């Protein structure tokens, strides 16, 4: 895809990527430095890097323009494995604050991705978050009964 963009020197009909037709340069106006690390690492090495929790939508939109559908599916599978691995690692620490923080970040990532792209990560983060919230909910309900 990139080769075609550079040969044609024309922008795609999207605001995610602009091609400077007088130079061999592409501008990604909505991408942050952290997002760019994920993109460049994948484009140059093929290695999948997990974006920041608030970067999934931005990185995903740009990747969807640059890679084919199968590659994109593989990227989301890798992201899902990384999210689940991170949640398992945090769960082993047994620190409620860290678990809640990791679960909320994972859920932001999941809901920023296309619908159904990260189902295991979604189920796991919701389940772990529920485990953390349940004792507080029981205590609250008990306290409000009296």
Instruction: Spell out the per-residue pLDDT of the chain, length 146, in tens.
Output: 555 554 555 555 566 776 767 777 777 888 999 999 999 999 899 999 999 999 999 999 899 888 999 999 999 999 999 999 999 999 999 999 999 999 999 999 999 998 999 999 999 999 999 999 877 766 666 677 76
Nearest to residue 52, comparing CAs of 91, 100, 105? 105
pTM of the entire predicted model = 0.80
Q: Is residue 11 part of a domain?
A: no
Give me the domain span that covers residue 77.
31-145
Residue 133 lies in a domain: yes
Q: How many domains does the chain have?
A: 1
Residue 127 lies in a domain: yes
In a domain, 128, yes or no: yes
Q: Could you tell me if residue 105 is inside a domain?
A: yes
What is the model's pLDDT at position 26? 77
Which residues are CB-contacts of 120 (< 8 A; sequence separation ≥ 6)? 80, 84
Q: What is the pLDDT of residue 8?
A: 57
List all residues 6 or more positions away from 57 whose beta carbon is below 8 Å from its beta carbon.
112, 113
Radius of gyration (Cα) for the chain, nearest Å? 19
Report how far residue 12's alpha carbon sits from residue 18's, in angstroms, rounded to the nearest whole number: 7
How far is 108 from 5, CA to CA, in rounded Å? 32
Residue 54 placed within a domain: yes
Q: First-to-last CA distance in the chain?
A: 65
Whether residue 10 lies inside any domain: the answer is no
Please give the structure tokens belonging to residue 121.
């990560």
């Amino acid at each position: 895809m990139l080769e075609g963009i550079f040969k044609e020197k024309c922008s795609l009909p999207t605001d995610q990527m602009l091609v400077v037709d007088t130079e061999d340069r592409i501008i990604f106006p909505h991408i942050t430095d952290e997002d760019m690390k994920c993109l460049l690492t994948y484009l140059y090495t093929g290695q999948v890097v997990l974006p920041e929790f608030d970067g999934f939508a931005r990185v995903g939109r740009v990747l969807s323009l640059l890679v084919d559908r199968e590659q994109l599916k593989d990227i989301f599978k890798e992201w899902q494995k990384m999210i689940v691995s991170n949640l398992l690692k945090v769960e082993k620490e047994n620190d409620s604050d860290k678990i809640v923080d990791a679960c909320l970040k994972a859920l932001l990532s999941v809901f920023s991705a296309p619908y159904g792209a990260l189902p295991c990560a979604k189920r796991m983060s919701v389940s772990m978050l529920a485990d953390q919230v349940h004792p507080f909910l029981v205590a609250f309900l008990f306290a409000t009964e009296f």
